[in-house]
Structure 1
Amino acid sequence: MSNPSNRLETRYKQAAVNPEVSAFSQLAQRLLIGFGQAMWYLRPLPDFLIIGAQKAGTSSLYKYLLQHPSVLPAYQKEIHYFTIPDLYFKGERWYRGHFPTNLARGQRLTGEASPSYLFFPLVPQRVYQMMPQVKLIVLLRDPVARAFSNYHHQVRRGLETLSFEEAIAQESNRLGNDLQKTVDNPRFHSLNLAHFSYLLRGDYITQLKRWRQFFPAEQMLILKSENFYERPQEIVSEVVTFLGLPSWQPNPAIFKQYNPGDYNKMPPSLRENLSYHFQPANKALYEFLGRDLGWQ
């Protein structure tokens, strides 16, 4: 007979992939994290991380993967353990408490999706020190579209009061030297950096190079978000192969977009200016990847 924790984990996976039972999902999440802290030693570290980018489709990809019969969810999709100092310094026991037990997992995989991981400089080394064999999945979206989506996300949350033009004009002043401060002082956390780094987060080449200092190319699957939006089933199949999961024919009905934004288009002149801004970083990214992502 399965124990209560295992039965709850099974119900939680059902809830995690079915929005109609979200109330149960929230209750199960609290209970499972409570069990997790008490039984951390029975909980292996995750097999994969979806590390970003923010507003590039990470929520949708994670939800789709949870539909696979050989994938179990973490008890929280975005843990941000390696990013937020107050969480990171709780230690490995706290982090392990967010994942299913050995008994519940069996041969199945589990992972989490925290899109802040790609961006913050100390995260690659922290991840490597704890789990050097973990597989990493990266979604990269046209940085102009990503910045605009990120801005509207912060507006919806009530955190952004400036216009988009004002926000990007003020970004450098808002952020100051905060990114370097996160390196110099591991306990430093900048809310401005977390919420208002619209353009800085689009410098993908700098971020990927930091990760490649610790993880070889074969442990990182780097995907173009636009391809994922257009052909989700094909891209999910690529992820399934990368993770070494059994082949799977999902119901096409699962491929709906999660956390979509609804806002007016960017003025063409502003898009042209921002495309010019990102042109050098994009060119370096294409050379690094060995392929042109076609962001014009």
Structure 2
Amino acid sequence: MSPNNYIYHEEAGLFPRAKGLCCRRISKTKILGVLLFVAIALFILMLSSPHYDLMNQKDDSGMKRHVLPKVTDYWGPASRPGHGSRFSDDIQNNIPVHKKTDLRQRLPQCLIIGVKKAGTGAMVQYLKLHPDIVIADKELNFFDYERNFKLGFDYYKSLMPPSYEGQITMEKTSNYFHNKDTEWRVYSMNTSMKMILLVREPIARAVSDYLQRKLKDKTTKELTPSFEELIIRPKNGKINEGYPGIRPSFYYKHMLRWLKYFPLAQIHIVDGDNLVRNPYEEVHAVEKFLGLPHLITPDRFVFSDKKGFYCMSIDGFNGTRQEQCLSRGKGRKHPDIDEGVMEMLTDLFRPLNKQFYKLIGRKFDW
């Protein structure tokens, strides 16, 4: 065989001298062809990699383009809106991208524990405007109903809306604050639980509670006794402190139980009366309490002359703002209460209110 058909590797210092070792001569054309094939294959593999994002490449200005993924990217076919989805419509596309991970159900880190008819429903709707908060759609009565509590924390977690890592999961049941045993049950689940408590002038709250109870049953509301008949014991003419509509207003007594398990620093108290007059101020304080950025801006609250209270300005599907008000049941006109009964209720609540102020280190205009 002609020696021109072989290449001998005898370069000093690189390979040992062994004239018997050789390989066939490879043309430059073939070498270039192989290199081109390898380059094309590597390029195709890079484009198909799940970690390669063309949108994050640098543009001509040298700045990185940053595009948030859509919420629908995390939905399977069975969980898209209109197909039995358990995802809340409140999950917006303005959550920081680093938080759009680990979407799953979690136990709540914060509870709205009451009180009933002090603005808990309004607070829920306002807090849903914050992208870092997800709230269960209805009252779950997990801690105040023994039969629900016995089902366990895994059952409770299964009722929560899915949340991303970094979001705060919340639940509101307005009966938690005034029902016994709820405080130690909450403590048994999470000793670090944060709680939001809304309070309101106690007599007005009791009247509003009565009105809701009366209107709730449409068939018997005309037969419901008056507020005065229910609140006064016929035998002795004294206040019926056992009436369910008045019991939640004994803030001092209920607060004593909660403070046996939780420090006051874990319970944020909202002025329900001020929530009606200035919702932004109270919501801003809740954001601070939860350690969240202040993303619910004043322009989110629009006063409605027709309703007589503040409504919300929400983002519409077409990029514009739309007004959304609370349910029809909000802002009902209260019935006139007998002056004598009002005086008796004032005398009842006056010392309790003072004790409550001292207990929490804060005073209200009651």
Residue of structure 1 aligned with 2:256, choices 209, 212, 234: 209
| 1:252 to 2:313 alignment | no
Question: 1:31-60 deviations in whole A, cap 9, x for unaligned?
Answer: xxxxxxxxxxx5221021110111000000
1:94 deviates by: 1.5
3-state SS of 1:95 partner: helix
Question: 1:269-292 deviations in whole A, cap 9, x for unaligned?
Answer: 322221111112111111112232
Aligned pair in 2 of structure 1 residues 99, 131: CA closer, same or farther (>3 Å)? same
State whether residues 228 and 338 of structure 2, in contact with CA within 8 Å, keep that contact through their aligned partners in structure 1: no
In 2, the alpha carbon distance for the partners of 1:48 and 1:11 equals 18
Aligned pair in 2 of structure 1 residues 262, 218: CA closer, same or farther (>3 Å)? same
1:141 deviates by: 0.8
Partner of 1:112: 171
Matched to 1:145, the amino acid is A
Question: 1:176-234 deviations in whole A, cap 9, x for unaligned?
Answer: xxx9xxxxxxxxxxxxx8xx412222111111111111111111101221111111011
State whether residues 43 and 100 of structure 1, in contact with CA within 8 Å, keep that contact through their aligned partners in structure 2: yes
Partner of 2:56: none
3-state SS of 1:72 partner: strand
| 1:140 to 2:199 alignment | yes
| 1:122 to 2:189 alignment | no
Cα RMSD over matched residues? 2.6
| 1:98 to 2:159 alignment | yes
Task: Indicate the larger mover: 129-138 or 245-254.
Answer: 245-254
State whether residues 171 and 198 of structure 1, in contact with CA within 8 Å, keep that contact through their aligned partners in structure 2: no
3-state SS of 1:221 partner: strand
| 1:263 to 2:334 alignment | yes
State whether residues 129 and 296 of structure 2, in contact with CA within 8 Å, keep that contact through their aligned partners in structure 1: no
TM score, norm. by length of structure 1: 0.76
Larger Rg, first or second structure (1 or 2): 2
1:249 deviates by: 3.7
Aligned pair in 2 of structure 1 residues 197, 172: CA closer, same or farther (>3 Å)? farther
Matched residue count: 246
Aligned pair in 2 of structure 1 residues 252, 51: CA closer, same or farther (>3 Å)? same
Aligned pair in 2 of structure 1 residues 66, 90: CA closer, same or farther (>3 Å)? same
Percent identity reads 30
Partner of 1:164: 227
In 2, the alpha carbon distance for the partners of 1:172 and 1:84 equals 32
State whether residues 54 and 150 of structure 1, in contact with CA within 8 Å, keep that contact through their aligned partners in structure 2: yes
State whether residues 48 and 112 of structure 1, in contact with CA within 8 Å, keep that contact through their aligned partners in structure 2: yes
Structure 1: runs of 5 or more not aligned: 16-41, 174-178, 180-192
Aligned pair in 2 of structure 1 residues 120, 14: CA closer, same or farther (>3 Å)? same
Partner of 1:23: none
Partner of 1:188: none
State whether residues 45 and 131 of structure 1, in contact with CA within 8 Å, keep that contact through their aligned partners in structure 2: no
1:11 deviates by: 4.7
| 1:81 to 2:142 alignment | yes
1:121 deviates by: 1.3
State whether residues 91 and 134 of structure 2, in contact with CA within 8 Å, keep that contact through their aligned partners in structure 1: no
Residue of structure 2 aligned with 1:46, choices 108, 113, 120: 108
* Structure (1/2) with the larger strand percentage: 2
1:171 deviates by: 10
